[in-house]
Structure 1
């Protein structure tokens, strides 16, 4: 334990790195991912429901100025991405934001960051799976002319009984994850390349019907609409920090993690702006806003055929499945790090000697988050997921400053540019987007944090290995 004037339980970066390499259960993780696979993993974690499903809701808020919403969300991510890149290169372990907070802000804050990551990685798996179900029906309609019964493909909030496709995609991802990281990374890379190709095809088709007049009036609801749209658009970027959860399974992590984060943000921002401009330019904001499977709708309208829309729906099914896979991976690695520290039960840290994966951990995550996927709607969890992610990003930006002060000589393969202005701006932009989520979401998030604080007080603090002198 690092002594501090306030008595905080802080674990040194050296201890975190040493423990990540230690074989706590007799079987460790393997370094099998190179830079290309890591970039594909990052893109796989990001590009999915946010652009294929959430675009229509963002357009409904901001109109043609959705372009500014995506750019504002991207700027928020870029400043925070710099912080993730520095911390990921300096502390290349699986815990991501949780481990960074543990090394800088103390155990209590680290636990709450890990608690918030349940929203970013766990609850978002449920949301993404619901979006997958919507596009699966669109694909079935395009190919076979019929869809799954609403009772079996939507939760009660959307007029159905149970969303079985959402449950199925979560179980499929869990099956692949327990087989091994090499197989999971290979599948994610293939799906990432495919969905980028599909979005490029969409842009080519939509730009063929582009009309500049569809971009006016540009600021239909002023900057308020842009801000509200940016808070929704931010959901489309959730997942880029998943790259740091692979810290123990990446070759040359100090070099590859920072590179992969920055490359992912660049690729995704270009794609999102291009897709948004193409969609609105082709049909107009009113036609795109609040429409499920909006990209398929655009292609169907432009081509006058359902074939093109079917291709886009296929791409969406693949894209969203890869997000489920990548985000579930991130959740299991964060829980494994928390379990190593004694803050949650030890079952989450156990690694299979055969597959070198946390099998029990993976199936627990799949089982727990399949339940809201089966019975909830996408809209019910998007804002809560967004605010939880933004809160962890605030902590990461602060962690960069704290680590520079506490460990100035620590080896860093990447340094935040314009320090300390960059992380301070990162905090500011995150708080600005949190403001845009609305007071209802603030109340829900406050309750969520109170529950997390109670869990830490009743279990985490009492079972902490660092508190017991084991760290």
Structure 2
């Protein structure tokens, strides 16, 4: 078999599903219900985005930012429907990595998994750094405390030595993950319900100061402003695919994974639109400051009530929101590495399962160490923006995978079928590349360097240890 055919050799779907849940030393435990899976995706999606990005998007679109959130949701929906079909057809932990292995072959699967490693590790480190900043602001508002810069900033920043607050939230998430998937899902459910309650509280408070005149004119920047804002707020929808990484710990994955993905996107969209309407109704869009967005919701809550207690509750919600994102995204990364290790593409230690806890302990600890170093010692800066391009690339692969698998294996049992096929996945691919095209040049450079590093790692280790390639006669 030629090198090209080996690199593009697909793994049979039935084999991927049959291997699901099995690791070295034990199996993963199926404990997660539809409710828990849905909240996992909501937990990964509903994070810092709505607390920060709304303040950045309003000046671009004016009151039509509400329409921008709807447009971004429609864009995300194309990919969400494709994820739902493949998650129901291939219900394993590898998410888009496993879907690519079944449809486009090993090299594309590796590239997809490599993109997800970038997305998950750097995004967790970035939001962990943000958690320290929100925690500091919350403590200062509540008690007048201000944590020293030496433990809340990275080396190279003003007064920074090591960002201990960022490391702290990573360690807290690790402790929950090591207790088991069911315990992690329960903790996440509590976090998610708290932050949904806080955002609904914000809406109630903001609506007390609602002024209909704030929506006139509705689209002062025209269609161009709406589309520019939609491109920006699209990234606050990233995370709906988190449930697909729990395919081997779901009680009924073929039925529940598609439902969880679509349901989580619907929940998040309703919340985003409500918050956007309440925020613009309570404060004229011209007063939103794009340079100081971190506390925009807190400021609006304070203005609506004429006091600081409401803003304090919203700040608390931001702290909880980020904690939930750290937990769910770290979970997703460990499960994708688990699937890649089972295929031989990364070292065997990543698929070792603790027989008592039934979780990949060594995998989780290695991921924790890597993320803690990133979060505590490295100012991430624009590197964090590279997570967006990796995510969009993975989304495009999933949309293309639906097209390929429908063509090659029309006989496969599918618990969910993407509606309006083939238009939906085709539009999903197009929209992903349109949003990618609008990203900054430095982001493309970072992405290219990361891909180069990934190809080197694959040919030095993954290709040599691939279990699928080991079966190919030389």
On whether the aligned pair clears a TM of 0.5, the verdict is yes
The answer for the alignment partner of 1:431 in structure 2 is 433
Conserved in 2, the CA contact under 8 Å of 1:228 and 1:437?
no
**Partners in 2 of 1:226 and 1:160 — Cα distance?**
40
Tell whether 2:151 aligns with 1:152.
yes
Unaligned runs of 5+ residues in structure 2 are none
Tell whether 2:116 aligns with 1:114.
no
The answer for the alignment partner of 1:99 in structure 2 is 98
Note the aligned Cα RMSD (angstroms). Answer: 2.2
Give how far 1:208 is off.
1.5
Give how far 1:58 is off.
3.1
Judged with a 3 Å threshold, the aligned counterparts in structure 2 of structure 1 residues 68 and 442 are, in CA distance, closer, same or farther, namely farther
Superposition pairs of residues 7-406 of structure 1, within 5 angstroms:
8-21=8-21, 23-155=22-154, 159-161=158-160, 162-216=162-216, 218-285=218-285, 286-291=287-292, 292-376=294-378, 380-406=382-408
- Aligned to 1:42, the other structure's residue is in SS state helix
Give how far 1:353 is off.
1.1
Judged with a 3 Å threshold, the aligned counterparts in structure 2 of structure 1 residues 7 and 297 are, in CA distance, closer, same or farther, namely closer
Judged with a 3 Å threshold, the aligned counterparts in structure 2 of structure 1 residues 227 and 437 are, in CA distance, closer, same or farther, namely farther
Unaligned runs of 5+ residues in structure 1 are none
Give how far 1:450 is off.
1.8
Conserved in 2, the CA contact under 8 Å of 1:231 and 1:437?
no
Relative to structure 2, which stretch is displaced further, 222-231 or 391-400? Answer: 222-231
Relative to structure 2, which stretch is displaced further, 227-236 or 129-138? Answer: 227-236
Relative to structure 2, which stretch is displaced further, 160-169 or 62-71? Answer: 62-71
Conserved in 2, the CA contact under 8 Å of 1:124 and 1:381?
no
Give the alignment's TM-score, normalised by structure 2. Answer: 0.93
Give the alignment's TM-score, normalised by structure 1. Answer: 0.94
Relative to structure 2, which stretch is displaced further, 327-336 or 368-377? Answer: 368-377
The answer for the alignment partner of 1:413 in structure 2 is 415
- Aligned to 1:235, the other structure's residue is in SS state helix
Q: Deviations over 1:377-433 (max 9, x none)?
A: 575344311111111000000000111111111110000000000000111111121
Conserved in 2, the CA contact under 8 Å of 1:173 and 1:325?
yes
Q: Deviations over 1:64-106 (max 9, x none)?
A: 3332332222112111111000000000000000000000000
- Aligned to 1:272, the other structure's residue is in SS state helix
Relative to structure 2, which stretch is displaced further, 248-257 or 48-57? Answer: 48-57
**Partners in 1 of 2:380 and 2:207 — Cα distance?**
29
Relative to structure 2, which stretch is displaced further, 215-224 or 233-242? Answer: 215-224
Give how far 1:129 is off.
1.1
Give how far 1:107 is off.
0.3
Judged with a 3 Å threshold, the aligned counterparts in structure 2 of structure 1 residues 172 and 150 are, in CA distance, closer, same or farther, namely same
Conserved in 2, the CA contact under 8 Å of 1:132 and 1:320?
yes
Q: Deviations over 1:97-153 (max 9, x none)?
A: 000000000000000000110132221111221221222122102210222123322
Give how far 1:337 is off.
0.5
